[in-house]
Amino acid sequence: MSTIGAYFRLARAGWIMLREGVVAAVPGEQLIGLPKAGWRIARLMTKRRASQADRSERLSKAVVRLGPSYVKLGQFLATRPDVVGAEVALDLANLQDRMEKFPKEQAIRQIEESLGRPVDDLFAKLGEPVAAASIAQVHPAIIAGDAAHKVAVKVIRPGVRRAFFRDLESYFVAARLQERFIPATRRLRPIEVTETLAQVTKIEMDLRLEAAALSEIGENTKDDPGFRVPRVDWERTGRDVLTLEWIDGVKLSDLEGLRAAGHDFKLLAANLVQSFLRHTLRDGFFHADMHPGNLFVEPDGTIVGVDFGITGRLGKKERRFLAEILYGFITRDYRRVAEVHFEAGYVPPVHDIASFSQAIRAIGEPIHGQPAETISMARLLTLLFEVTELFDMHTRPELVLLQKTMVVVEGVARTLDPAFNMWQTSEPVVGDWIAANLGPRGMLIDARDGVNALMSLARQAPDLAKRTEKLTREIDDMAEFGVRLDEATTRAIGRAEARHTRSGRIALWIIAVTLVFIAWRLF
């Protein structure tokens, strides 16, 4: 029954998207069967309706009507231009995550249930909410004591988990239908993308994990010039509550406020980009939602990042990959850029490295004919990912998230300084990282890591030998007697297949009924 409900929720979402003209704005030439018929009808409906708003506004209106779960889905898909396309991702990035505030009484109940203490024991005063988003809202509060101080209290929206996981089932239905009816998108792995959404949102809905991210980045950046994060009050933090130092500063989106405070825009732009690159290359852990509304500037010019619900991680291989391709483009060593892709396993070895190097050159050469201040590093990565699609490079979520964040950070920097030189500003950070990790010192570190890995493998050798022996016996048994399934497993497979067939028929009926209803409303 829950599967049937998922189909109906999906049909409702489709109808709202259709009414707002969103479905017709999405490319549908690759669709087949009933979905393509629905897309064509949607285009007809849109032509009959007066176009009073652009696509971004229509999309925003539709997502807000669908509720907090879809706002979160939109935010997530904004980080995946490889899945929804660059234009739609940009529309989603402009989505304002502003929801109606819920009553302070509900927030108090959430706080007390999460922390197990009366709110009066925790705070001398808890104010009315000052901002509300899809997952949580923020209240100002005062902590009493010898050093009374103001804090920000972030509280989870009541019922948001239940609503999200109810809607998540319909997202999986949509992903399965996409794989079935749009073969060209299978390489994007829509089901895996949905699983990633589920995992990311689970993490974001546990505010203890956001507190841990703040704590980790705080340690990483404690000696960095010009950047910091708020301090976490762990005593007043739980699954549904996050208490932080209150930040008194000007939002980076408030250009007039920054100008009135006397801040140096060029210095702020350089500080922002260099901080982001340090977090990415040095630490492998970065704030993945660095839009200007999440960045404050203190009176001394220090940038303070907030809202760490979305973060990204890069392993050592990915960081080396990023540094080497940037360095290769700077030095016009396109062969090396191509080799890095193959060494990292991003491009299948069936392809010719010389042909791939030629494609990389097509991206790099136009860059060297431009003034440095007009070259966009984010645009370079976007073009690079477009070319790698031609060579069957599978989606790398961590790299796509990095590219999306770099687009945002570079855009903010150019808003502050239209003549911003990305390459000159990045060189000290990227150059130091390359010297430390790709030179002699880096070779010593790699050798040390290799020795540690061998020692770990040696310690595990007895256990590995036992597992190998057991696996060999099992393979011999299968070769002699075949694969055997017990009766319970056979029955379970039968039930799963029956459910799948029944769900497919139900989906087709729902789609057909929806199309008939749309046609009736249209004509």
Active site residues: 289
User: Is residue 390 within 8 Å of 360, Cβ to Cβ?
Assistant: no
Tokens 């060189």 belong to 427
Quick check: helix, strand or coil at residue 156? Answer: strand
Quick check: helix, strand or coil at residue 146? Answer: coil
Q: Where are the alpha helices (DSSP H) in 67-103?
A: 68-78, 81-84, 86-93
Helix (H) or strand (E) holding 305: strand 303-305
C-alpha to C-alpha distance for 500 and 522, rounded to whole angstroms: 33
Angle of CA points 142, 147, 153, to nearest 5°: 25
Contacts of 225 (CB under 8 A, 6+ apart): 271
C-alpha to C-alpha distance for 79 and 77, rounded to whole angstroms: 5
C-alpha to C-alpha distance for 74 and 13, rounded to whole angstroms: 13
Here the tokens at position 215 are 């704590």
Amino acid at 403: Q
C-alpha to C-alpha distance for 385 and 393, rounded to whole angstroms: 8
What does residue 238 show for φ and ψ, rounded to 5 degrees? Answer: -145, -165
Contacts of 356 (CB under 8 A, 6+ apart): 338, 341, 342, 347, 391
C-alpha to C-alpha distance for 187 and 385, rounded to whole angstroms: 14
C-alpha to C-alpha distance for 126 and 143, rounded to whole angstroms: 9
Compute and round to an integer the Cα radius of gyration of the chain.
26
Tokens 């190998």 belong to 468
Three-state DSSP string of 421-453 = CHHHHHHHHHHHHHHHHCCHHHHHHHHHHHHHH
Burial of 414 (0-12, 13-18, 19+ CB in 10 A): middle
